[in-house]
Structure 1
């Protein structure tokens, strides 16, 4: 390799996003608008922002800063490490840690002024011991009202509220629970859990309360209490089954088309040869696969979901919706672009995997899953671009 070649090569400047095999566009303006929408729907309650799982795959730093700028002053994360990452971007906010606290996490909790959500007798005992040594620090109490996941049992929580022997340092800043079936408004579980939580709120008089995540907000004022916890709705996902989604799309995932190839009638496509072409076809090979969170279950053929009669997923390219051909593979997915005009697509173009033209929940349904999993399952290979909210 000559020095001349090195010099000429170094002068070539290409934007990383424009050159990326995979790219993810995150519309921070849409994110902020969605939070303001959910804050309005929360009525008299304050709206927090749930940014766990790297802000549902969108990036906790940029999304956290945007939501803080939009007005969020209460945040929920899943882990202490997520809280520590968020803290510089939400400097005056309360950051609640849904998994609580365990031995060895004290330094991060106190250094970043995090609020652990105590969810079990073991955590409560550990926390009370810490408070006895260190002095008071805010914490929240999670009560299970029928989900049978995290939280003190209803009976234990009510007993604790009335226990005159409890430590003076037992003074939660929030009691919370979580609805199991809020995405199905007609479910009787919603009313059952509401009535149980109302007992908790009455027992912990004067302590702020929170029951509803995104779907619960849509159930109405009875479910709002003092603080709501919108999550999936902020990122443009569907919160309620069978209802038109009012939220703006936030994420657009795209893959570069690496090759367009001609294939003859009778030939097979992808692993297993599960698709046999019934016509001469044009196939676009895109640089995304299940290693990138584009699930194998999206395949157009050769998987159980297709054998049960459910249709496979589509991509969107240059104004056209195109189906997946054959099986999705680890790094590549094949799309049938035969019906597009010959000049409508070429190698190097990008195909939308999900986004404004391919709603993430529609794509998720083709995979037999939900939008949450599509967003949080994005791999590490996407080059990200953030569209900044205009003041």
Structure 2
């Protein structure tokens, strides 16, 4: 993770590189990830919710921590108590934060979210431009302007240019306030996107910020499950709930002690694979809550107690997501609490 943060930062070495560590650091464990990134030199962190931010603050007492999902009604006092910075996205949020600062006798730091195309959170571009010169901006302690790219992983999408132009217009209206636009994929879209702070998340954890091209990131997560049982089945025998799979001939099956309760998606049933002794073995039958069945007929090393790799080696997190009809983000953030987690410090 630390090396990935350095690689992302190298895309624009003249500006800071922050880290998005929401969703328990994309399922990798905030309590471990945040200190590692701090030690690597990261000083600014983004999370989604106040609850995550409070945990991050306990781990990183000196870090700058932004709360992406804004200011929930009544949440201001707890954010202020932990020196957390909400990403404000409406006039109402600005006014509530200003009132809290007035009680404290000083402006409290925050970011301003401008919606340039996502239509989720944030001020519209006209709303933001209308606030230029408004005393509410300094009173709200705005120290960062932010927006979010719609299709950063698709460099040729026209919306990228339009968003960039809109965000540039907002930035010109607020001179002196730095801007942050580049997410993981945005880090590879060039200097026009970089602005004053990179803001990667998924790529820190090994996800490919440039789909369809070689992944410049190092893999971070490896997921293994041991074979609980081996059995031989005959032609016509079925496996799993509702007999969704039927043996086309004599086959050897292995059952793994892992299932959708552990965050491995049920949608990978009949589509995903695991590696046993380096051999790709298809998932057969429906994935159940605690068990997955593999066809290990072609894997001579398959035996009780041997590990099967579900993420790792040739099965990177993006390909696992694709096989399940989803994205690697969902695979990572769904990693469950029943796994035995082992963190390995790199030696190179």
> What is the TM-score with the length of structure 2 in the denominator?
0.96
Instruction: Determine if the alignment matches structure 1 residue 137 to structure 2 residue 94.
Output: no
Q: How does 1:90-101 map to 2 (within 5 A)?
A: 90-101=60-71
Q: Is it true that 1:156 corresponds to 2:166 in the alignment?
A: no
Name the CA distance, whole Å, in 2 between partners of 1:194 and 1:101: 25
1:161, distance to aligned residue in structure 2 (A) = 1.2
CA RMSD of the aligned region, Å? 1.5
Match of residue 200 from structure 2: 230
Question: What residue number does 1:377 align with?
Answer: 334
Q: CA deviation at 1:268?
A: 1.1
SS of residue in 2 equivalent to 1:246: coil
1:336 aligns with 2:306: no
Pairing of 1:214-253 with structure 2 (within 5 A): 214-253=184-223
Q: What is residue 36 of structure 1 aligned with on the other side?
A: 6
Tell me how far apart the structure 2 counterparts of residues 80 and 89 of structure 1 sit (CA, whole Å).
Answer: 14
Any residues of structure 2 matched to 1:235-384 within 5 Å, and which?
235-300=205-270, 312-341=271-300, 344-384=301-341
User: Is the partner of 1:173 in helix, strand or coil?
Assistant: strand
1:226 shift after superposition: 0.4
Q: Aligned to 1:46, what secondary structure does the other structure show?
A: coil
Give the Cα–Cα distance (whole angstroms) in 2 for the partners of residues 213 and 338 of structure 1.
43
Report Cα offsets for 1:229-275 as digits up to 9, x if no partner.
01000000122232221111101111121101111111111112122
Question: Is residue 2:16 matched to residue 1:57?
Answer: no
- Please list the CA deviations of residues 74-108 of structure 1 after superposition, one character each: whole Å capped at 9, or x if unmatched: 10000111111111322221001101223442343
Residue ranges of structure 1 left out of the alignment (5+ in a row): 1-30, 301-311
Q: Which residue of 1 aligns with 2:87?
A: 117
- Which region of structure 1 is more displaced relative to structure 2, 129-138 or 280-289? 129-138
CA deviation vs aligned residue, 1:114-150 (integer Å, no higher than 9, x gap):
1111112221121111122222211110000111111
Q: Structure 1 residues 213-222 or 82-91, which shifts more?
A: 82-91
Counterpart of 1:16 in structure 2 is none
Write the distance in 1 (CA, Å) between the matches of 2:293 and 2:346: 35
Deviations 1:149-176 (Å, cap 9, x if unpaired)?
A: 110111111110133x547513411000
> What is the deviation of 1:356?
3.0
**Equivalent residue of 1:162, what SS?**
coil
1 CA distance for matches of 2:206 and 2:22? 15
Structure 1 position 390, deviation (Å)? 4.8
Deviation, 1:360, is: 0.9
Q: 1:216 to 1:171 in 2, by over 3 A?
A: same
C-alpha distance in 1 between matches for 2:81 and 2:140: 21
Pairs aligned (count): 347
Give the Cα–Cα distance (whole angstroms) in 1 for the partners of residues 232 and 140 of structure 2.
70
Cα distance in 1 between the residues matched to 2:136 and 2:91: 13
Structure number with bigger Rg? 1
